[in-house]
Structure 1
Amino acid sequence: MVTTVSLHAFVDESRRNDRYLLVVAIIDPGDLTRLRKLLRTLLLPGQKEVHFKKEEPGHRKVILSRLGRCGPVVHVYQRGCADGEERARQECLIAMVLDLVAVGVVRLVLDSREVRDHHDKRTVKAVLGKRSAESQFIYEHMLSTQEPLLWIADVVGWCYGAGGDWKRRVLPLVGREVDLDTWSG
């Protein structure tokens, strides 16, 4: 009998100029508690979340170093925003969900965008189609203050989008890069 691991995925977005990035950290269930604890140790006094855009450069380097040692696998999906940011997001989400189902992800957590979450729900439901009812795949939106594992995607998305030395530092965590402007499926 072959046993399969039910992977979990945590998604955040980033936008740099005309590029939209949707980033997903894929986590083995055996690592969920350990990674949450690690991430909470990276909070500075008074912080409720790691939000990389707001971190000082020195603290950013510490965070990246600690994440690099625990090695979560992260995928980056990107697309230009010429047709609008929401369209870019939903096209990235379609490709991502197809990939996540294929690798055995059973739980998807997206960083909530509150009033715009319904777009994601509609897209995921459409991608799953008839498989939705019989699939073990579940998805939900959470605030990043509620789920520390969303911070991994935030860190990678910010660094990847910043380019230069920040991108170089984060690339060891990136297992897959999909540019939907050049992607053929």
Structure 2
Amino acid sequence: MSLHVFIDESRRGNLYLLAAALVMPADLGPTRALMRSLRVPGERKVHLHQERGAVKKEIAAALVTAGVRARVYVGHGPPDATRARLLRAAVTDLVAISVRRLVLDSRGQDRDQLDRRVIRSALTAGAADPGLMTYEHLRSHEDPALWVADVVAWCHGAGGEWRRRIGPVVERVIDLDEKARSPGARRPARSCPGPLPRPSGLGC
């Protein structure tokens, strides 16, 4: 199984969150088409925190109906250091499920370079071939699949009603703070009881 993954972030105070949208190769086209259909006319992209409440609800519901899959990585602390910890954890986790392509929302040339160093380090530390996973940064308007990660990140980070709305999409949450508090725990991540069904709304 070869997966494409699209990552975006959300920050709230000292909470830092990375959301990873998992997309099968055959679902790339339908996923992009779905996200374009949810874009407000006149806008270049879906960016959930800018949308009205009714639009937010419509977009979140559409992702749930489509059977989109995502994972979330959570930590607290200084932004740069916390992002690096989360990205290392994400790479380790994603390699284990045969992810072969990773796309991150670009934050500018210098910060993107920092991400690349973290990814290379994580691959090497995990005894994985650095060429096993290709990775790149794109500006958010360049690939609508990135908008899935934006929606998941915003909803999960918002908590409450929004986290419940996007919950069916999130198959796993890895909380690095929880892991740090319980180093002997066998299940540092929360997982859904079973795999999500194939995305019926994506033409599969």
TM range (shorter): over 0.9
In the alignment, does 2:162 pair up with 1:166? yes
Of the three residues 83, 88, 94, the one matched with 1:94 is: 88
1:131 to partner: Cα distance: 3.3
Q: 1:28 aligns with which of 15, 24, 39?
A: 24
How far, CA to CA, are the matches of 1:143 and 1:38 in structure 2?
A: 19
Detail structure 1 runs of 4+ shifted over 2 Å in the superposition: 130-133
Instruction: Map 1:77-156 onto structure 2 (within 5 A).
Output: 77-81=73-77, 84-114=78-108, 115-129=110-124, 131-133=128-130, 135-156=131-152
Q: Is the 8 A contact 2:7 2:105 kept in 1?
A: yes
- CA drift of 1:72 comes to 1.5
Q: Alignment identity in percent?
A: 44
Question: 1:38: which partner in 2?
Answer: 34
Work out the CA distance in 2 between the residues paired with 1:15 and 1:6: 30
TM-score by length of 1: 0.93
What is the DSSP-based 3-state SS (H/G/I as helix, E as strand, rest coil) of the residue aligned with 1:45? coil
Local SS of the residue matching 1:160: helix
1:62 counterpart = 2:87: no
2: distance between equivalents of 1:71 and 1:90?
29
**Structure 2 unmatched ranges of 5 or more:** 189-204
Alpha-carbon RMSD across the aligned residues, in angstroms, is 1.2
5+ residue gaps, structure 1: none
Cα distance per residue 1:24-59 (max 9 Å; x no partner):
011111100001001101111111000001011111
Which of these residues, 170, 173, 176, is aligned with residue 172 of structure 2? 176
